[in-house]
Chain A
């Protein structure tokens, strides 16, 4: 049954490349520019979510600077810094993977995605060690130190700081887990020939997502780990 029988004429969707060439879109993979723009709009919603949290953090820092500095000085900067470097290198491997895919080296691209997945697991492992260390020291969501009105209660500013710390690093970790899932899906699509050198918008957008995860950490790290540096501990 044709479209004309329903009174609808088939109108092809035409996309334009950056150098002005026009072509008919064959499925969503064909419109790389539209795919990129759409994904950027999605990423802006993520920036709004994390941005609101940073706003709250900045506001309470302005009210309780000493509590924030004291709490920050107790965080493990060595583990936090290691995770910063791990994410930094993972952003490179992800970017190189995309570059290799665009250059036609599919095997090299897959290797780079595997390397990124391994680095993501290392990040999560370090984060788990860090959270465990904090739990052992009695600082964790739900424990007395972060509840007000008992003998172990930390000062109000510290309760806010640690509450936000666990919330934001937890949410960031959740994004890392989603990223791992997306990379596994990407590998599956590459293996089945659905993502290729010519049709790599999915690879492009997942690389963008990974850069966003890295970008958020670029601010999470100084906000939590570094503002108390140089104040003992």
Chain B
């Protein structure tokens, strides 16, 4: 690597650092300054922009066509898998037998009497 390439890449690293620091500052002021009722979505959006900067410049993904598409393909599969899991869990959640968030409602038969209680 020649000295000019080295200097150009080093300057890029500092620019990305500046961008990441700025986004971190926005992370802190966002809940008090704007989109106060959408903090979760706003925070994750800022996180996604930071992630993009890291992947493209610090992880040298910019210009890496083959590895880039490999990652996109793999991430698409994982996202599809996660969506299916979420749909499945959401469906299961509202069935009577769900044990995910609430205590099971159990019917106990004591012969003549049927008692119902939360276990």
Please tell me which stretch of A6-14, A80-88, A134-142 contacts chain B, meaning at least 4 of its Cβ atoms lie within 8 angstroms of it.
A80-88
Contact with B along A92-115 (1 / 0, CB 8 A): 100110010011100000000000
Docked complex Cα distance between A99 and B3 (Å): 11
Tell me whether chain A's interface is mostly helix, strand or loop, or mixed. helix
Q: Say if the beta carbon of A1 comes within 8 Å of chain B.
A: no
From known contacts A99-B10, A230-B36, infer whether A59 and B31 are also in contact, taking CB-CB under 8 Å.
Answer: no
Contact of A103 among B6, B20, B55, B74 (CB under 8 A): B6
Please tell me which stretch of A44-52, A116-124, A172-180 contacts chain B, meaning at least 4 of its Cβ atoms lie within 8 angstroms of it.
A44-52
Q: Say if the beta carbon of A156 comes within 8 Å of chain B.
A: yes
Residues of A within 8 A of B47 (CB): 218-219, 221-222
Q: Say if the beta carbon of A168 comes within 8 Å of chain B.
A: no
Q: Say if the beta carbon of B21 comes within 8 Å of chain A.
A: yes
Flag if A61 contacts B40 (CB, 8 Å): yes
Contact with A along B35-52 (1 / 0, CB 8 A): 010011001101100110
CB distance from A39 to the nearest CB of B (A): 10
Q: How many residues of B contact A (CB 8 A)?
A: 43
From known contacts A99-B9, A211-B58, infer whether A55 and B51 are also in contact, taking CB-CB under 8 Å.
Answer: no
Which residues of chain A (187-233) have a CB below 8 Å from chain B? 208, 211-212, 214-215, 218-219, 221-223, 226-227, 229-230
Docked complex Cα distance between A221 and B46 (Å): 11
| New contact pairs (19) apart from A88-B17, A218-B50, A226-B31, CB-CB < 8 Å | A41-B74, A44-B74, A47-B78, A55-B85, A63-B101, A64-B101, A81-B28, A88-B21, A91-B54, A103-B1, A211-B58, A214-B58, A215-B54, A219-B44, A222-B44, A226-B43, A229-B28, A229-B32, A229-B39
